[in-house]
Amino acid sequence: MKKRTAVLILLVMILTAVITSCGSTSDTTSETITDEITTTAETETEEGQIMETETDTEVQSEAETETETETETETETETETQTQEATEEITSEEPADTETTVDLVLPEKSSDLSYDLAAKLLTFCTGYMESNAKAILKSAGFEILFTKNYDKAKTDKSHTCAYTVAKGKYNGKNIYVVLIRGTEAGEWYSNLDFAPSHDNDTKYAENFYMAAQDIYLSIKDMLDSDPDSYKVICGHSRGAAASNLLGITLDNAYSKNSVYVYTFATPNTVRGEEAEKDISDPEKKYNNIFNFINPADLVAYVPLQAHGFSRAGIDIMLDSEDKKTSIITGIESLINLAPDIRSYYEDKHSLTGKGLSDDGLSTYDILQYIAAMYASDYANMDISKLLTMSPESDLYAALAVLSEFSDTQNMLNIANEHSVSRYAQLIAEKQASE
């Protein structure tokens, strides 16, 4: 009977993966039209007339002297150089630095929130597959520079993200877009491994921070050679977390007004001093990083706030009918199993009774089973220990609060609240109400 109960709990945990993970949902991208602004100037040149005069000077007498002044002849000489100078003088009235080749409109200040820009960048986030990401950015007038990590194996547990880097022209300057994808395959392991150091004093969700640094190192030389360029960073879910932390790095490296960061369905990313600095000091606040949050989206609550995590930048809370659900409250109750980061990894809970045991499992261990299942990495999923779990185990009691996940309709509702299409709807409603 106990084994049967344990199997049912495993099913609940597997269903939990849909929401505790930072997945990404594909939507149909809207058509984009590339506006090209070109400057033209009409040049006109005037031709001089040739005046010919003859001058005769005669002395009539000592008393009368008539002097006729000589008039110089203007020679008609229009050289190719003069024509070019005239043309440049006229065209300078509308300078070439207004050139724009991309279908994107940035606010004058990166700290000014633009719902139109948010809606546009969210359509970029529908490019889940590498080919889709390229097609969407190309249709918006961007040139694809490179992509990375789209071919990660399902057993790859590295803390990296798949992303696409593209380039265009905006107001005569280069504009770079970094589009960061949500979760795929082995990235499920990374999502649940938020502090590999096990350090209770860590300042970041280390998994997402390492992914952000990997991206930064690949674009650093390019941006260093073009510091005045516009830099636009966007992502959904796991990609949102990496975007959030990449935004911090770019703000510290370049002019903040050249950096635009828009994140959607954003997990928590910072804690401790980094989070406090963001809130308490307006001068240091990352006010050009905008995080769009659906309060009914479970992903926005992990890693747990009870572990000290929050987000860098400004949260834009979107209205939702469901608001904070009982399932979210259930996830937050996992703090009872792991009161701090170290215990999340290292406290082994007995499977046969209450308390800790050397042969037990940690909260992290349990979630790694779920990661393996969701990544379809069945070769690394040994559930023999789980089959020994009894109702007396602390793990059993904690996971019992997640029983709502067994309801198919609940699962569909939760997945919907996290989807790109749902965020698009909520952002449009938010914009209309303001």
Identify the structural domains of the chain with CATH numbers, from first to last: 104-346+402-433 (3.40.50.1820)
* Dihedral angle, C-alpha 363, 364, 366, 367, nearest 10 °: 120
Least confident of 35-49, 149-163, 262-276: 35-49
Predicted confidence (pLDDT) at residue 139 exceeds the cutoff of 60: yes
For residue 164, the model assigns a pLDDT of 98
Entry pTM = 0.78
DSSP 222-236: HHHT-TTSEEEEEEE
Contact between residue 21 and residue 415 where contact means Cβ atoms under 8 Å apart: no
Higher pLDDT, 80 or 386: 386
Contact 180, 241 (CB under 8 A): no
Distance separating alpha carbons of residues 318 and 310, to the nearest angstrom: 17
Task: Please compute the mean of the pLDDT values over residues 349-363 and round it to a whole number.
Answer: 93
Residue 401: per-residue pLDDT:
59
CA–CA dist 408, 412 (Å, integer): 6
Cα(262)–Cα(122) distance, rounded to whole angstroms? 9
> Rounded mean pLDDT of 349-372?
89
Tell me the one-letter amino acid at 363.
T
Res 27: pLDDT = 40
Query: Stretch 289-304: mean pLDDT, rounded?
Result: 94
Residue 291 host element (H or E): strand 289-293
What value does the mean pLDDT of the chain take?
A: 79
400 — pLDDT class (breaks 50, 70, 90): low
Residue 179's SS3 state is strand
- Most confidently modeled of 182-196, 209-223, 359-373? 209-223
Q: What is the DSSP string of 46-87?
A: PPPP---------B--SS-B------PPPP----HHHHHHHH
- 393 by Cβ neighbours in 10 Å (0-12 / 13-18 / 19+) ranks as buried
pLDDT(188) > 60: yes
pLDDT value at residue 329: 74
Label residue 328 by pLDDT band (50, 70, 90): confident
Alpha helices in 232-334, H assignment, sequence order: 238-253, 272-280, 326-332
Mean pLDDT of the region 189-199: 96
* β partners of residue 385: none
User: From CA 302, how far away is CA 288, in angstroms rounded?
Assistant: 22
Q: Which two tokens stand for residue 31?
A: 């058509």
Average pLDDT over residues 385-411: 75
Q: How far is CA 413 from CA 17, 37, 107, 183, 253, in A?
A: 14, 44, 34, 19, 41
- Sort strands 163-170 and 143-148 into parallel, antiparallel or unpaired: antiparallel
The pLDDT value given to residue 47: 38
State the average pLDDT over residues 128-138.
97
Q: How high is the pLDDT of residue 178? A: 98
- Containing 15, the helix (H) or strand (E) segment is helix 2-20
Amino acid (1-letter code) at residue 374: Y
